[in-house]
Amino acid sequence: MLDPTNTSLGASDNDTQSSQRIALGIEYDGAAFHGWQRQGDPALSTVQGALEKALAGVAAHPISLVCAGRTDTGVHATGQVVHLECQVDRGEKAWLRGTNSLLPSTVRVRWAQTVGQDFHARFSALSRRYHYVICDSPVEPAIMTRQLTHTRLQLDITAMHEAGQFLLGENDFSAFRAAGCQSRTPFRNVMHLQVIRHHRYIVLDIEANAFLQHMVRNIAGSLIEVGAGRQPAEWVREVLHSKDRKLAAVTASPSGLYLVAVRYPDLFGLPIEAVGPGFLQPFA
């Protein structure tokens, strides 16, 4: 019987030569990495690099991952989804326990499931959901400083939420995309946007079919301007319609951003749930 915690896994009687596709749910602290994507410089630690190295130890052959959405340096995830191709049948417990035993403490596989060849972590996704976490407090917090964005300004979440409603629906989000964004189209469909307070923490909860580079952080920066009283809620609508990135606020810090869920068609049967940051579980 295969020991899922064995780090020197070899072929077993249950292994097959046909390729299997495995989907994994991933959680990571982005402050520890230079983003998701593997870099040309091996000295730069990435989430993809750490995962592929650990998964290769379980599979006993090189692994290449496809993710639902690449995250930038400093951005976290509690609900990232990836898939991989494997030539052997290790069993779902091995992918979970075996891989976690080989990963740094800042990355964890939350679930593993065998899927059909018609599943694709990126192209099968119906939507992605992010949380952006802000702490508005006169004193900078001593803990979780790399897991949230701090401002000394007292923010009006009612005004922030009102402003966010102007972004709902399918729109041209050119005003909220990074200059280096490589997407072929600036149109995205924002299905849900809510701003919630939990004591000193404020959460921007946003879901869309997909996001442009820095889109959530640019929206967060503009909503902070509204919350601080420097702009009215209607200003966000004007910025959106202008399609001019120069008119929006500065890009908010990556430290407050979390990919919390990726939604797929029910036919894949994946255990998808929105899992917010651990200190904000009431928002899960």
CATH topology of domain 20-124: Alpha-Beta Plaits (3.30.70)
Q: Which residue has the tokens 């292994």?
A: 15
Per-residue pLDDT of the chain (284 residues; tens, 9 = 90+): 334 334 333 334 344 457 899 999 999 999 989 999 998 787 899 999 999 999 999 999 999 999 999 999 999 999 999 999 998 888 888 899 999 999 999 999 999 999 999 999 999 999 999 999 999 999 999 988 899 999 999 999 999 999 999 999 999 999 999 999 999 999 999 999 999 998 889 999 999 999 999 999 999 999 999 999 999 999 999 999 999 999 999 999 999 999 999 999 999 999 877 777 765 654 44
Domain boundaries, the chain: 20-124, 127-260
Q: Which of 140, 164, 143 is nearest to 225 (CA)?
A: 164
The answer to whether the predicted template modeling score (pTM) of the entire model surpasses 0.95 is no
20-124 and 127-260, same CATH topology: yes
| Contact between 200 and 157 (Cβ < 8 Å) | no
Active site residue 72: yes
Look at residue 13 in the predicted model and tell me its pLDDT: 38
Look at residue 281 in the predicted model and tell me its pLDDT: 56
Q: Residues 72, 89, 156, 172: which is the catalytic one?
A: 72
Query: What size, in residues, is the chain?
Result: 284
CATH topology of domain 127-260: Alpha-Beta Plaits (3.30.70)
Give burial (CB, 10 Å; 0-12/13-18/19+) of 15: middle
Look at residue 92 in the predicted model and tell me its pLDDT: 85
The rounded Cα 151 to chain-centroid distance in angstroms is 23
Between strands 20-28 and 187-198, the pairing is unpaired
> Helix (H, G, I), strand (E, B), or coil: what is residue 238?
helix
266-275 exposure pattern, b = at least 16 Cβ within 10 A, e = fewer: eeeebebebb
| Contact between 127 and 263 (Cβ < 8 Å) | yes
Look at residue 260 in the predicted model and tell me its pLDDT: 96
